[in-house]
Amino acid sequence: MRPACAFLLLCALAAPARAEPVVYTLDPAHSFVNFELRHFGTSTIRGRFGPVDGSVTLDRAAASGSVSVTIATASVSTGLRVFDARIREPDLLASAEFPQASFVAERFRFDGERLAEVRGEFTLRGVTLPLSLFARHFACEEREAARREVCGGDFETEISRSAFGAGFGLPFVGDRVRLLVQVEGIRR
């Protein structure tokens, strides 16, 4: 082998490995959107949607990624069937006309190595608005049971339901809805 070729081969082998984006499929057993809002100024209504469906692409070395998630609006659960049915009505979730909400994002913000925020667009009732999910916790680990890497976390944000056309009950039922998102994704 010529010395110039040997040198180039040695340089290529010594170069640090470049990380590639990794795709994770959301685990339906661990991926839900919980919500909270004030009810007549006295108590807090709580419930959840899910499981949510989607995938996340994460490139930790490049501090970037993408998210594509869908949420069945009819999956709302507050623990009271009659209340869940009321929430699905046309003046709130309009689940018959808009069976899915979605979140898509391609802007990730890291603080050092820690995922801090995911910015994208949230669509509910046919209305699409910018939305940031703030990471309260995020981690990845190898799971023997899954025999693959699993990444997951807890994210938080707030929306104004009236901005999406769900204004029934204002001002007695709160307009600000706190969303608490728990997700786990299994590496493909």
The predicted-structure confidence for 31-41, as pLDDT tens digits, reads as follows 999 999 998 88
* Predicted local distance difference test score (pLDDT) of residue 41: 83
Residue-wise DSSP of the chain: --HHHHHHHHHHHHSPPPP--EEEEEPTTS-EEEEEEEETTTEEEEEEE---EEEEEEETTTTEEEEEEEEEGGG-B-S-HHHHHHHTSTTTT-TTT--EEEEEEEEEEEETTEEEEEEEEEEETTEEEEEEEEEEEEEEEEETTTTEEEEEEEEEEEEEGGGGT--TTTTTB-SEEEEEEEEEEEE-
Q: Which domains does the chain have, with CATH numbers?
A: 19-187 (2.40.128.110)
* pTM of the entire predicted model: 0.86
Does residue 109 carry a pLDDT above 90? yes
Does residue 11 carry a pLDDT above 90? no
**116-159 pLDDT per residue, tens:** 999 999 999 999 999 999 999 999 999 887 689 999 999 999 99
